[in-house]
Structure 1
Amino acid sequence: MSEALARFSINQMTVKQLSLPELAAACTDLGIPGIGLWREPVRSYGLEKTAKLMRDAGLTVTTLCRGGFLTETDPHARVRAIDDNRAAIDEAATLGTDTLVLVSGGLPAGSKDLHGARSRIADALADLAPYAASRGVRLAIEPLHPMFASDRCVVSTLAQALDLAERFPASQVGVCVDTYHVWWDDQAPAQIARAGRGGRLHAFQLADWVTPLPEGVLNGRGQLGEGSVDLRSWRALVEEAGYGGPIEVELFNEALWSRAGHEVLSETSRNYLQHAC
Structure 2
Amino acid sequence: MNDDGKPDFEKIDDSQNGYLKVWGGWPTCGCSCSSTVGAYKNNKDHYIFLQSEEFNCSWTKESSSNKSLEEIMPDNFGLNSFSSQAINDNLETPSFFIEFEIPRVGTDTHVEIELVPFGLKPSGENAICYSYKQEEYNSRNWTNLSGIKDIVEEIGTSTTLELILAGDFEKINREDVKVISKYIGSGYNEFKTRTDLQNTLKELKLAYEIYNQLEYTELTLGWNRDESKFYIKEVGKKKEKQSFRDFLIENEYWGMIC
Q: Identify the structure with the greater strand proportion.
A: 2
Higher Rg: 2
> What TM-score range do you get, normalising by the shorter chain?
under 0.3
- Structure 2 length as normaliser, TM-score? 0.26
Q: Identify the structure with the greater helix proportion.
A: 1
